[in-house]
Amino acid sequence: MKKDIEDRVDIQLLVDQFYAKVMDDKDLGYIFRELAKVDLVTHLPILYDFWENAILFTGNYEGNPMELHKHLHHIMPLDETHFNIWNKLFLSTVDELFKGPKANLAKERGVSISNTIKEKLKIIA
């Protein structure tokens, strides 16, 4: 039986498995590996903090994810397809690993954050 997201260890599992899928995806992986040249060793701890705060409300994230996405959008314009793939991968990863109120919150927050970034980048469906 799946458990709910409870702590940072769960967040790390979610983020690690999600970003493994992102990096393997033919569309998103190219953007992360080749264009943004994301160093996951450096980036993953930041993502752990971000998602731990977004789901468990720890207050331990201090950053501006919008600036990173604006920079990425400048390098390669992101479109609706990119966000749809991101959402699909994120939602499926949560569903594969967890079940419960925090898992549901993670999915809601993931889609909400994706939509906010898309809106701020002025990507219209």
Q: Is the pLDDT of residue 10 over 90?
A: yes
Mean pLDDT, residues 46-74: 92
Burial per residue of 77-92, b for 16 or more beta-carbon CB atoms within 10 angstroms, e otherwise: ebeeebbebbbebbee
Cα three-residue angle 121-58-4, rounded to 5 degrees: 90
**Domains detected in the chain:** 8-120 (1.10.490.10)
* pTM of model > 0.85: yes
The confidence band for 68, taking pLDDT boundaries of 50, 70 and 90, is confident
- H-helix segments, the chain: 8-24, 28-30, 40-56, 65-75, 80-97, 101-120
Mean pLDDT, residues 60-72: 88
